[in-house]
Amino acid sequence: MLFGKRIQKADSLTKYMDALPILQVLPPKYKGQDHTYYEVCMRECKVSVHSELPETTIWGYEGVFPGPTIEVESGERVYIKWENQLPSTHLLPVDFTVHGAHHDVPEVRTVVHVHGAVVEPESDGYPDAWFTKGFQQVGVKFAKRIYQYDNLMNACTLWYHDHAIGITRLNIYAGLAGFFLVRSERERCLNMPSGKYDIPLMLQDRTFNPDGSLYYPMQPDDPISELKTSIVPEFFGKTILVNGKVWPFLEVEPRKYRFRVLNGANSRFFRLKLDSDQLMFQVGTDRGLLTQPIGIKEIILAPAERADIIIDFTNLEGKRITLINDAPAPFPNGEPDNEVREVMQFRVISELEYIDTSSIPAVLEQVPLYSKKDAFRKRFLTLDHSIDKYGREIMLLDNQGWDAPISETPKLGTTEIWYLINLTPDTHPIHIHLIDFLILDRRKFDVDKYNRDKIIEYQGPSIPPEPQERGRKDTARANPNEVTRIIMQFGPYSGLYVWHCHMLEHEDYEMMRPYMIIR
Ligand SMILES: [Cu+2]
């Protein structure tokens, strides 16, 4: 295919040439007794993603990729002015047929969502609350220039990223993502590895042209002849980046480290293990710490999911340990992608700067318990796929598009159980803004019968979530042929939020729905 020729060959870039970038923490513009204030500006910049590749033009918060890490305390009131100083034409091919991306809106729009934040609706980064360079033009739901975050979360690993309607996949792919860490005194008392031994890792996949520029397809494998540019059903890149470097290495001391692993890819899932076959100790999920650490050899992360893990390199001086990914793409029914079987390498050096006095605590934090009988309401929500007028696959939630009237209106303070009924052949990571939830169970059902009679006929037992998922979640994998049940309490804010699939190509077309918490 025409586009294929220009793409860089994945195996042409030498692995483990460049050191893992340690992401810088953003200093606030103001820090006082009652609040902290930041300014974050989106800019086009050139960065080096690999020393064998010419520089790459990216869009970055503060001009870096990934963006600088924002660190807050639990309960700290933070104001952030997100500003757009990006060019007026997009770095990547825009499809003007997808929802909210028609010719009646500016081509470059941005809005920032802190993924996992407990935040008022006006500051959540609603997809139609977009703004352009210098706030010259704004979307219909734009409410304010300076967002307010009260950070009513416990300690957890969040991330901020773009959420503009119809081009989220392109804006994030261009580089608009960064970490947002919530810390607390309670967490510090647990004495886990901290400071330079607490490292966030943003895993992404990208494809580059030989001139170093980002490659994103203009068309699916089966091109749509009526359109110059068309959205693709999924995007899978040919190289893996961690913290913005292709296949980096990290020198580690022979001691314990805490890694906050985020899947920041558009569509790719990761199934991670260490080639040393050693255990990793998971201490946290998307939205906070687990009740107790669990020893695991494998972690599955769908786009937007996080795992907070401790790896112990004690007594491994001189060893080189590779982080492996064997997830099929698409997940779970695609082929294993051998080109991207490796992610990064840990090189254990011999010197220990200090004796490692950190610990893997036996008890971490209480995870909230919901009783199924507390549920005020159950909602049965399908994940659907069909074909659009161009013959492309289109994914829906509850069989409705983005613009259909709001149908999910939970009452403030009430608990609901959502039945995610997946009628598609893919696993979809379903993310609900504002709240955290627990996964109750997953259960196989008869899809054909459901399509015929709209009745759930279970075909197997209820399977509890994996141990790695038994904590506070904000994104859950809904597998094909399964009903995934999640339980959550809606609050503490009321108003307009969204829920969506976090595979960005699905989210943009049209696997996203508004929901409203009502008083
Ligand atoms: Cu999806």
Question: Could you read off the pLDDT of 351-393 as tens digits, one per residue?
Answer: 999 999 999 999 999 988 887 788 999 999 999 999 999 999 9
Distance CA 6, CA 30 (A): 47
In 268-288, which positions are buried (b, 16+ CB within 10 angstroms) versus exposed (e)?
Answer: bbbbbbbeeeeebbbbbbbbb
Q: Which of left, alpha, beta for 196 (phi over 0: left; psi -120 to 50: alpha)? A: alpha
**Rounded distance from Cα 103 to ligand 1 centre (Å):** 25
Using pLDDT thresholds of 50, 70 and 90, give the confidence band for residue 10.
low
**Rounded distance from Cα 501 to ligand 1 centre (Å):** 5
**Rounded distance from Cα 500 to ligand 1 centre (Å):** 8
**Rounded distance from Cα 511 to ligand 1 centre (Å):** 7
**Rounded distance from Cα 394 to ligand 1 centre (Å):** 10
**Rounded distance from Cα 428 to ligand 1 centre (Å):** 4
Residues contacting 65, CB < 8 A, separation 6+: 45, 47, 58, 59, 175, 244
**Rounded distance from Cα 146 to ligand 1 centre (Å):** 31
Is a pLDDT exceeding 50 seen at residue 415? yes
CB atoms inside a 10 Å sphere around CB 110 = 23
**Rounded distance from Cα 427 to ligand 1 centre (Å):** 7
**pLDDT one-digit tens code per residue, 299-314:** 999 999 999 999 999 9
In sequence order, what DSSP letters do the residues of 368-394 get, joined into one string? P---GGG-SEEEEEEEEEEE-TTS-EE
Of 140, 78, 133, 94, the residue nearest 110 (C-alpha)? 133
Query: For residue 83, what are the β-bridge partners?
Result: 41
Cβ atoms of 218 and 229 within 8 Å: the answer is yes
**Rounded distance from Cα 345 to ligand 1 centre (Å):** 30
Average pLDDT score over residue span 191-219: 97
Is a pLDDT exceeding 70 seen at residue 506? yes
Q: How does the average pLDDT of the chain come out, rounded?
A: 96
**Rounded distance from Cα 494 to ligand 1 centre (Å):** 26
Is a pLDDT exceeding 90 seen at residue 336? no
**Rounded distance from Cα 233 to ligand 1 centre (Å):** 9
Q: What is the pLDDT of residue 456?
A: 98
**Rounded distance from Cα 276 to ligand 1 centre (Å):** 33
40-to-29, 84, 513 alpha-carbon distances in Å? 10, 9, 28
Instruction: Find the DSSP H helices in 262-321.
Output: none
Q: What is the pLDDT of residue 7?
A: 59
**pLDDT one-digit tens code per residue, 173-189:** 999 999 999 999 999 99
**Rounded distance from Cα 249 to ligand 1 centre (Å):** 31
Is a pLDDT exceeding 90 seen at residue 163? yes
Distance CA 308, CA 471 (A): 11
**Rounded distance from Cα 169 to ligand 1 centre (Å):** 12
Please give the residue that has the higher pLDDT: either 207 or 339: 207
pTM exceeds 0.95 for this model: yes
**pLDDT one-digit tens code per residue, 286-299:** 999 999 999 999 99
Average pLDDT score over residue span 226-230: 95
Cβ atoms of 254 and 315 within 8 Å: the answer is yes
**Rounded distance from Cα 303 to ligand 1 centre (Å):** 10
Q: What is the pLDDT of residue 72?
A: 98
Distance CA 286, CA 262 (A): 9
Is a pLDDT exceeding 60 seen at residue 509? yes
Q: What is the pLDDT of residue 4?
A: 41
**Rounded distance from Cα 204 to ligand 1 centre (Å):** 17
Instruction: Find the DSSP H helices in 82-234.
Output: 168-173, 185-188
Average pLDDT score over residue span 316-344: 95
**Rounded distance from Cα 371 to ligand 1 centre (Å):** 29
Q: What is the pLDDT of residue 5?
A: 44
Query: For residue 146, what are the β-bridge partners?
Result: 81
**Rounded distance from Cα 184 to ligand 1 centre (Å):** 33
**Is the CA virtual torsion 456, 462, 463, 469 positive or negative?**
positive
Distance CA 208, CA 220 (A): 17
Q: What is the pLDDT of residue 403?
A: 96
Cβ atoms of 448 and 262 within 8 Å: the answer is no
Distance CA 106, CA 78 (A): 30
Of 171, 140, 154, the residue nearest 74 (C-alpha)? 154
**Rounded distance from Cα 79 to ligand 1 centre (Å):** 32
The number of angstroms, rounded, from the C-alpha of 308 to the middle of its chain's C-alpha atoms is: 14
The number of angstroms, rounded, from the C-alpha of 429 to the middle of its chain's C-alpha atoms is: 9
Please give the residue that has the higher pLDDT: either 247 or 6: 247
Is a pLDDT exceeding 70 seen at residue 201? yes
Distance CA 82, CA 205 (A): 26
Is a pLDDT exceeding 60 seen at residue 511? yes
Q: What is the pLDDT of residue 300?
A: 97
Distance CA 87, CA 96 (A): 18
Joined together, the tokens standing for residue 143 give: 């409410």
**pLDDT one-digit tens code per residue, 58-117:** 999 999 999 999 999 999 999 999 999 999 999 999 999 999 999 999 999 999 999 999
Distance CA 175, CA 68 (A): 12
Place of tokens 């605590």: 361
Three-class SS of residue 160? Answer: strand
**pLDDT one-digit tens code per residue, 12-58:** 899 999 999 999 999 999 999 999 999 999 999 999 999 999 999 99
**pLDDT one-digit tens code per residue, 131-162:** 999 999 999 999 999 999 999 999 999 999 99
145-to-41, 56, 114 alpha-carbon distances in Å? 12, 30, 15
